[in-house]
Amino acid sequence: MNNKTRILIVDDDINICQLLKLYLDKEGYENIAVHDGKQALEVFREFTPNLVILDIMLPGMDGWQVCREIRKFSNIPIIMLSARDETFDKVLGLELGADDYVAKPFEPKELIARIKAVLRRYDRVYNSQEQLIFPGLVVNKSNYTIRVHGKEMELPPKELELLYFLASNPNKVFTREQLLENVWGFDFYGDTRTVDVHVKRLREKLEPPDPHWQLKTVWGVGYKFEVK
């Protein structure tokens, strides 16, 4: 599978791009490197990558903007890079739809391991045709849609994956840290409010309340998908 997997590197540091290309070539990934945000969006549409490695500090259009634009039309995995290992940057990246966040300087072998892990999660979710069906609710992870009381709507990747994970484990309580680990798939240190933000958005879309199920807060612990 590796020799068919395409990775787009977006970083204005030529040395980092060259280093990443060496490691990606060794793993058999097809890859292209670009050095500014606007070019990244142009190349994205032509190259149709399976994953993007995206630096935050870019000329012209920063990584936040690029991530936001990509998420308007694609759910492919995005790994953010930043020279600042700050909680705010991590939270913002996750809220914009990034799948992982790596602080510079980084160990190339660790980044390769994260790439493989993100691709495995992506393939597992997108290649599955499973649905979860409850009264008034259908969660379809093959096309990232839900149907609530007969109304179908698309969900951003992490919102769908969070709902699917909780609904796959009805009545089981998960801490925010456990949800970050199982849905975002990597160790996350710092503010866990990104989970709260995603739950809030989900609740707004799951209105009106249903008597058979609800996305419930367990105060002092975390969240659960309660089925009655």
- Candidates 204, 186, 206, 216; CA nearest to 94 is 186
Between CA 111 and CA 90 the distance in angstroms is: 16
Residue 111 lies in a domain: yes
The 3-state DSSP class for residue 113 equals: helix
Q: Among 25-29, 98-102, 164-168, 207-211, which is the least confidently predicted range?
A: 207-211
pLDDT above 80 (res 1): no
What pLDDT, in 10s, does the model give residues 95-108?
Answer: 888 888 898 889 99
Q: H-type helices in the chain, by residue range?
A: 14-27, 37-47, 63-70, 87-96, 108-126, 157-168, 176-179, 193-205
Residue 1 lies in a domain: no
Structural domain that includes position 214: 131-227
Residue 135 lies in a domain: yes
Does residue 143 share a domain with residue 95? no
Number of domains into which the chain is organized: 2
Does residue 140 share a domain with residue 87? no
- Candidates 158, 169, 168; CA nearest to 202 is 158
pLDDT at 186: 60
Alpha carbons within 13 A on the beta-carbon side of 10: 35
What pLDDT, in 10s, does the model give residues 10-63?
Answer: 999 999 999 999 999 999 999 999 999 999 999 998 888 899 999 999 998 999
